[in-house]
Every structure is written in structure tokens, then in C-alpha cells.
């Protein structure tokens, strides 16, 4: 299957979510609004690319007939494991699993990691648990006390975030 550009992926992911929630496809105007576009031409172009790449299909001349051809796994992808002990090598899993949390309102960029270790037990996170994370758009906005997957010297661990301010005398 041919890969998608970022714009095509954004539209496809939005379509999949919309169709899942509403049980029918959106109008071109709804897609324009969702993609923050002023003209239908870019939406139509992206739809055509998605159809040519085998991701969607529709009935010519009929409104709201877009169908998803790819069975996208439901849920949050579990991308590996993370240590909840001292720093250790990242645990990448070779096979991506999905954790179906369709009853929760999660965004497509959310992902999950399996926890290895006991250092987060005070946060009720224990060895073998699964944590759901979202990438930080701007790391500067992370608040003290937030649980984060931290990368230190190429290794990762699950910890409470604490900003340290350097004091100069």
C-alpha cells in the first residue's frame, strides 16, 4: 500500500474518525472546515489521491458515499515498553498491538507503552500496566508533576516531570 502525505493522512484520519462517530461520510464543506481550507479543490484532490492509493472509494454522482477500504485497527497503538525503574534501553516491540479504548475520547496521536518496573507504584502504575501518552506539542508547556516518558542519554523512563531552574548568584 502506497504511503500518504501528511495532508492526505490528516484527511484520512479525520474521515475515519468522522465515519466511525456518525456512521456516514461527511460533506465536502465539512471536510473543508475540518482541514481549515477555503476551497473544495484541495479536499477533492486529497480525496482523489486517497482513492487512487486504495484507501477510500465512493459512488460517482452520489453525495456522502465515501467508504474506507482499509480496516484501520481500533484503539491506541502500543508502541513498546518503558522502564519505571532506573534508566534502561527502550523496549521496542516488533509487533504493534492496539488497545481498544473506543469509549474514551482520544486523539489519533495518542499511543500506549507497557510498563516495566515498580518505581511508579505511588502513582498506581505497576509492572505490566499500560500507560497512555500523548506527544507534547511544546515541551515548555509541560507542568511540574506531570507523568512523562523521559529520554535521558538515549534511554527512556517513566517519571514525574520536574523543571529545575538554574540559580545564578
155 is catalytic: no
CA-based radius of gyration for the chain:
20
**Set 74, 102, 159, 163: catalytic member:** 159
The grid cell for 44 is: 477533492
119 is catalytic: yes
**Set 119, 155, 163, 167: catalytic member:** 119
| 92: Cβ contacts below 8 Å, ≥ 6 apart | 79, 80
Looking at the chain, list the stretches that DSSP marks H as alpha helix, in order from N- to C-terminal side. 6-22, 28-34, 40-52
| 72: Cβ contacts below 8 Å, ≥ 6 apart | 16
Instruction: Report, as residue numbers or ranges, the catalytic residues.
Output: 119, 159
Amino acid at each position: 500500500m502506497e504511503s500518504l502525505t501528511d495532508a492526505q493522512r490528516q484527511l484520512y484520519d479525520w474521515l475515519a474518525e468522522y465515519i466511525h462517530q456518525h456512521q456516514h461520510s461527511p460533506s465536502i464543506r465539512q471536510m473543508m472546515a475540518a482541514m481549515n481550507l477555503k476551497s473544495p479543490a484541495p479536499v477533492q484532490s486529497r480525496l482523489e489521491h486517497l482513492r487512487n492509493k486504495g484507501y477510500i472509494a465512493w459512488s460517482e454522482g452520489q453525495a456522502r458515499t465515501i467508504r474506507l477500504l482499509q480496516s484501520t485497527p481500533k484503539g491506541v497503538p502500543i508502541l513498546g515498553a518503558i522502564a519505571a525503574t532506573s534508566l534502561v534501553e527502550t523496549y521496542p516491540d516488533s509487533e504493534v498491538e492496539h488497545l481498544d479504548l473506543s469509549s474514551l475520547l482520544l486523539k489519533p496521536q495518542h499511543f500506549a507503552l507497557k510498563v516495566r518496573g515498580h518505581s511508579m507504584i505511588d502513582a498506581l502504575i505497576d509492572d505490566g500496566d499500560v500507560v497512555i501518552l500523548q506527544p507534547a506539542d511544546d515541551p515548555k508547556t509541560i507542568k511540574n508533576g506531570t507523568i512523562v516518558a523521559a529520554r535521558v542519554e538515549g534511554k527512556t523512563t517513566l517519571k514525574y516531570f520536574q523543571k529545575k531552574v538554574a540559580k545564578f548568584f
